[in-house]
Amino acid sequence: MPLNMSLNTSLKPGLAIPVVLAIALTLGGCENMSKQSQRMLSGGAIGVASGTAITVITGGCVACGAAVGGAVGAGVGYVVNEMEKQ
């Protein structure tokens, strides 16, 4: 049984500008954050992306994968920050 991996990755034209604006505003808000907050946020973002990608590939619950990945990523960001303090 062949695995159908075709995904529709096209972005609707009317949605591109709000998405880019939301990303720019989100990244602009990181300027005055502590190192710990920055690491936890970036770890969480990487975790969300990884969790989403893994669940899309495996066919699981995408929202669950994103939530678990984000939580694990934020936790890893916290631990990395604490380890570098020592």
Q: What is the pTM of this model?
A: 0.64
What pLDDT tens digit does each residue of the chain (86 aa) get? Answer: 455 555 555 555 666 677 777 777 776 766 778 888 888 988 998 999 999 999 999 988 989 999 999 999 999 999 999 999 88
C-alpha dihedral sign at 56, 49, 17, 26: positive
